[in-house]
Structure 1
Amino acid sequence: MGSFLSCCGPKESDEGYLDRNIAGGNTSWRIFTYKELHTATNGFSEDNMLGEGGFGSVYWGKTSDGLQIAVKKLKAMTSKAEMEFAVEVEVLGRVRHKNLLGLRGYCAGSDHRLIVYDYIPNLSLLSHLHGQFASELRLNWQRRMRIAIGSAEGLLYLHHEVAPHIIHRDIKASNVLLDSDFEPLVADFGFAKLIPEGVSHLTTRVKGTLGYLAPEYAMWGKVSESCDVYSFGILLLEIVTGRKPMEKLPGGVKRTITQWAEPLILGGRYKNLVDPKLRGNFDENQVKQAISVAVLCVQSDPDKRPKMKEVVSLLKGCEPKEKAIPTRIQSVKYEEELLELDQPSEDDVGGNPDDSGVFKSLEVQKMQDSYNHKHHGDWRLNRNV
């Protein structure tokens, strides 16, 4: 992990910590000692566990100065796990935005890797759309739109305002956390790619979650900012409709959210697209605008998708200046070989289908305001293309 230590600072000593500033003093973080984190989490007690996945476990903790934190602890020192750790620390060390999950610090000893985040009290968007809080309707229409706009603004910052530009590569409901005011925080940068100036796209190993993956990325490994735009379009449809990006029908047939939505959009039946749990309490004009933005984002041709600057502008109600918004959605049908991979993969870290998002699944909430949530069919795709 020499490259990680060179870009993120010297290897930490278990005797103390250093205060650091990255990107011109824009973001401050700490190098924690293992002893500090061991004490803060009560010895990484099971009672403090917020969730676990193939990579390891996440624990709630409280530092000696009263700061509540969440600590992600790698289970095994595999090369893939260490790479995700290094990428996430480097990316989070570079960015600071109200809609991105903050980095509090990390700990990198000879036999352990830990990332320390701010503790966020309201779980993930996934838990409110499909998990244990879905029936409680904590997400009214106004909150949903704030979550959509805030998430888009976080991506806009990554794509256009930080240098080098950053592609997240894993935008989905489990990677959008909600603070005490239900403001969104885009999280989990383990798959992120830093794009050098003047480079439009990269070809890389495919990682992500089926249903959210842009077709050019899923099929050929071609990744660019427009891949995040596509994933955001799927997320936006999910926020409006309350449906999962990929669902299994009777007989085992799998249908994407775009395939379900296409006839309703084509027929102009926008009210029928809205999550029925809202019971008609929504702004129809905002629904039409949000669906129109989603349709733009999920076009199969990446060159026709908008930039995140335009997405944010449109979501805030601004009229498009040059690009006419299409009325017909272009449903992407994943190839059968990809659909067959919609199951645990031993090639990935831990081979765990629930291994997605910063804070993983638990069957029982163990402490008040914890992050835990149950996942619904998430998986990690990790293959050479």
Structure 2
Amino acid sequence: MLLLFILVLTWMSPLPEGNFVGATAIAKPGCLTKCGEVTVPYPFGINYVVMPGRNITQNCALEDTFELTCNLTSKAPELFIGRGNLKVYNISDTEMRISVSIAFRCYDSYGNISENRTSWTDIPERFPLTFSQKNKFTLIGCDDYAWIRGPPGSDYASGCMGICNNPSRVPDNGTCSGSGCCQTSIPQGLQYFNITLGSFNNHGSVVSSNRCGFAFLGEEESFKFGGARDMSNATEFYIKTRSNVRRVLDWEIRDNPNILEPTVCKGNSLRKNVSISGYHCSCKEGYQGNPYLEPGCEDIDECMDNSTYPCYGNCNNTPGDYTCTCLVGYEGDGKTKNGCQRKASKFPVIALSLALVFGLLAIFSGISGIFLGVRKRKLIKLREKFFEQNGGEFMKQKLKATGANDAVTMFSTDQLRKATDNYSEERIVGRGGYGVVYKGFLPDNRVVAIKKSKIVDGSQSEQFINEIWILSQVIHRNVVKLLGCCLEEEVPILVYEFISNNTLFYHIHHKPGGMSWLSWENRLRVAAEAASALAYLHSQATMPIIHRDVKSANILLDENFTTKISDFGASRLVPLDHDQVTTLVQGTLGYLDPEYFHTSQLTDKSDVYSFGMVLAELITGRLPICAARTNEEKNLATYFVKSMKENRLFQIVEPRLLQEGTLEQLQTVAELVKRCLNLLGDERPTMKEVAMELEGLRKFTTHPWNQQHEQAPEESRSLILEVEQSDLYGVPLIPYSSNEWESYSGITEMAFQENKPR
């Protein structure tokens, strides 16, 4: 045993040269510097060595929060954090890389779970280690969703969704682009997480080529997605990921009130704060060593390393630097090759210097002029290229052919850059799936919304121009007006009128204090105006337009609280001889038509379903989907319809509406919502019918003879009183709990299963 211990100490003895900030001293004197292939620099230290039949304890770390364990009982030495099971592969001056754990869930051909493993990692709070933002939460699968959550009681929760119709066609270019592979970021300072996996359809339609779903947190740069190969061979993918992917931890020195020294940074080093209570130490320029070990960083003798610190004269080392003077009879810069020149008389040198300076100035001016001219010409050609690529010539021909040159304003790049202060981050007023929206100010003092769209494929430019053309013809007081566009940038830029009073979603869900202006009468008005605009798009526009992303977040309100339908990034034109269009499924979960989701057949009834969800939000004040609610209430659509069938409508309506609207009015709107949410599109009303019904109900509500509160029937007043006095509402109207807000952005299996047509 003694012989084995001597061999171990010899093999793990301190190295003469280290790789920690150029240090020569790595660990405390007498302490081990390596465990296998992993170098352990101070302030970390190997406090525990586990050997067959014997353990060794040392005091080699700055404090117990930096202690590590070296296990020599396996085939190869392994290094662990503290005395835990988190294996360490590398330690640098700011980071540590550890092993990755993978959660997975596999299914057999009958849809049963054949294998299942969750994943969680808990770094004790006392350790100065947090998960780096170089890590990404990654989901692999074609029928899966996954959650990553922080410690109990924290506000952090995020998720990913993996959907692909044909796993064998998932690209294998090494990037996680969204098809079969989904990634999302994590917050700074995370010390604990757990991962849970689920499936939308138990891999029923993809099990032959994708049997398992995987989720893990790992370094983004070390993971390369293999596409179809990774989807089909679960065992190979698991082994490859465990072998190649690591998790990155950030480490820091934390201020310790029990240590009298204000900092552990030693001589000739600097303290760099990296968090509220944490910092790193680094050697000053011109010094090297371990800044955490006495005596600290030592001066570099630059004169001993001519390749790194060149000197072509007399070298003289100074603290933190060095000087290099030319040899006797020469002058100039000794640190530059050929920098020392033989001394000459002063007059020729001065004359030559002046001539050289003026000559260089002349050459520089000429080159600058040529360069600026070439650059300007390239910029003009690039803008012409983008203009043609984005369909600008087609737009010009269309304007000329119809004689409507003023229908669409063609803005230049310079105009819009000036209007947005060169697309300043401070001018951003919204981000969406189809672009970023900036607030802009035109020279004529008009305030506009400028939207930079995503890149449009060249084959779609004609369709894009057609959509601009049609939207420019839409003249409706409840549709955000398209003022013009710019096609001189790489991505098309659209210019709309600016709507200043936020979204309907904000006024329903975010505004504290009861939303005084959003009365029953105003809700009916907003709903009627929005329905009127959608009906116009469906049946009165030059070519029918299906919005495809109707939701409360896309219904804006101007300074007078007038309704404005916005965001036509997902909209589709419907040829006059067609009543449906086959498209890739797009939309927002909770508002998405289940029939469209399953058939990919887009019709105007898809907008009707989405509008029905907006109406349900208006009269209940609830989010469309919320995983934090009970299973029965998670999906508002199914819960609303079920409440109607069980005659429980007035238990889910906002309490204030029971006071402001009659029960007959609420019942009428609820019946309209129920018809809009019908799973079969053919049995839903048209938007025109919805608009007419809402407008009729609104006129009745505002009629001078309608004194609903002063002259309400006795039974109506008694029911209102009964609802107010009873505890029918387990969840307050506003605000929602933090868990409910977090879960709204998630994906739940119930959201798809309960909306599936039967």
TM-score bin (small chain): 0.7 to 0.9
Q: Deviations over 1:242-276 (max 9, x none)?
A: 11111113688982112222332123333323224
1:36 equivalenced with 2:415 (yes/no): yes
Counterpart pick for 1:8 among 395, 398, 405: 395
Distance 1:170 1:177 in 2: 14
Structure 2: state its 5+ residue gaps.
1-387, 698-741, 748-758
Q: Name the counterpart of 1:174.
A: 553
Q: Name the counterpart of 1:77.
A: 455
Counterpart pick for 2:647 among 253, 259, 268: 268
Q: Structure 1 residue 203: deviation in Å?
A: 1.6
Please identify which structure carries the higher strand content.
2
**CA 1:317–1:375 in 2, change beyond 3 Å: closer, same or farther?**
farther
1:153 equivalenced with 2:540 (yes/no): no
The root-mean-square deviation of aligned C-alpha atoms, in Å, is: 3.4
Q: Structure 1 residue 27: deviation in Å?
A: 8.5
Distance 2:483 2:407 in 1: 8
State the secondary structure of the residue aligned to 2:445: coil
Q: Deviations over 1:157-200 (max 9, x none)?
A: 01110122111111111111111121211111111111111212
Q: Is the 8 A contact 1:209 1:378 kept in 2?
A: no
Distance 1:10 1:41 in 2: 29
The 10-residue stretch of structure 1 (230-239 or 242-251) with the greater mean CA deviation from structure 2? 242-251
The 10-residue stretch of structure 1 (273-282 or 162-171) with the greater mean CA deviation from structure 2? 273-282
1:192 equivalenced with 2:571 (yes/no): yes
Distance 1:227 1:92 in 2: 20
1:131 equivalenced with 2:525 (yes/no): no
Q: Name the counterpart of 1:363.
A: none
Name the structure, 1 or 2, with higher relative contact order (CA <8 Å, separation 6+). Answer: 1
State the secondary structure of the residue aligned to 1:189: coil
State the secondary structure of the residue aligned to 1:255: coil
Q: Structure 1 residue 281: deviation in Å?
A: 2.9
Q: Structure 1 residue 378: deviation in Å?
A: 8.1
1:299 equivalenced with 2:678 (yes/no): yes
Q: Is the 8 A contact 1:298 1:305 kept in 2?
A: yes
**CA 1:23–1:172 in 2, change beyond 3 Å: closer, same or farther?**
farther
Distance 1:222 1:124 in 2: 29
Q: Deviations over 1:343-369 (max 9, x none)?
A: xxxxxxxxxxxxxxxxxxxxxxxxxxx
Q: Which has the larger radius of gyration?
A: 2
Counterpart amino acid of residue 100 in structure 1:
V
Counterpart pick for 1:204 among 566, 583, 597: 583
Q: Is the 8 A contact 2:619 2:657 kept in 1?
A: no
**CA 1:248–1:292 in 2, change beyond 3 Å: closer, same or farther?**
same
**CA 1:55–1:270 in 2, change beyond 3 Å: closer, same or farther?**
closer
**CA 1:105–1:313 in 2, change beyond 3 Å: closer, same or farther?**
same
**CA 1:279–1:47 in 2, change beyond 3 Å: closer, same or farther?**
farther
Distance 2:389 2:467 in 1: 15
Q: Name the counterpart of 2:382.
A: none
Q: Structure 1 residue 238: deviation in Å?
A: 1.1
The 10-residue stretch of structure 1 (25-34 or 140-149) with the greater mean CA deviation from structure 2? 25-34
State the secondary structure of the residue aligned to 2:568: coil
Distance 2:659 2:587 in 1: 33
Q: Structure 1 residue 23: deviation in Å?
A: 8.4
Q: Deviations over 1:115-169 (max 9, x none)?
A: 1111111111111112346854432211111111011001110111012211111
Counterpart amino acid of residue 420 in structure 2:
T
Q: Name the counterpart of 2:162.
A: none
State the secondary structure of the residue aligned to 1:164: coil
Q: Name the counterpart of 1:48.
A: 427
Q: Name the counterpart of 2:81.
A: none
Report how many aligned residue pairs link the two structures.
315
Q: Name the counterpart of 1:162.
A: 541
1:100 equivalenced with 2:500 (yes/no): no
Aligned pairs (5 A) from 1:207-246: 207-246=586-625
Counterpart amino acid of residue 9 in structure 1:
K
Normalising to structure 1: TM-score of the pair?
0.72
Q: Structure 1 residue 304: deviation in Å?
A: 1.0
The 10-residue stretch of structure 1 (127-136 or 194-203) with the greater mean CA deviation from structure 2? 127-136
Distance 1:182 1:304 in 2: 33
Q: Structure 1 residue 112: deviation in Å?
A: 4.1
The 10-residue stretch of structure 1 (119-128 or 133-142) with the greater mean CA deviation from structure 2? 133-142
**CA 1:26–1:262 in 2, change beyond 3 Å: closer, same or farther?**
farther
Distance 1:224 1:134 in 2: 39
Q: Name the counterpart of 2:197.
A: none
Counterpart amino acid of residue 427 in structure 2:
N
Q: Structure 1 residue 54: deviation in Å?
A: 5.5
Distance 1:192 1:295 in 2: 25
Q: Name the counterpart of 1:377.
A: 745
Distance 1:288 1:277 in 2: 15
State the secondary structure of the residue aligned to 1:109: coil
Q: Name the counterpart of 2:468.
A: 89
Aligned pairs (5 A) from 1:285-324: 285-317=664-696
Q: Deviations over 1:75-96 (max 9, x none)?
A: x63649x879657534422311
Q: Is the 8 A contact 1:87 1:189 kept in 2?
A: no
The 10-residue stretch of structure 1 (54-63 or 306-315) with the greater mean CA deviation from structure 2? 54-63
Q: Deviations over 1:49-76 (max 9, x none)?
A: 21334554321121111101111124x6
Distance 2:427 2:564 in 1: 22
The 10-residue stretch of structure 1 (155-164 or 105-114) with the greater mean CA deviation from structure 2? 105-114
Distance 1:222 1:105 in 2: 31
Q: Structure 1 residue 239: deviation in Å?
A: 1.2
Q: Is the 8 A contact 2:625 2:744 kept in 1?
A: no
**CA 1:32–1:134 in 2, change beyond 3 Å: closer, same or farther?**
farther
Counterpart amino acid of residue 579 in structure 2:
S
Q: Is the 8 A contact 2:546 2:573 kept in 1?
A: yes
State the secondary structure of the residue aligned to 1:317: helix
Distance 2:648 2:403 in 1: 50
Q: Deviations over 1:310-369 (max 9, x none)?
A: 111211237xxxxxxxxxxxxxxxxxxxxxxxxxxxxxxxxxxxxxxxxxxxxxxxxxxx
Distance 1:201 1:293 in 2: 23
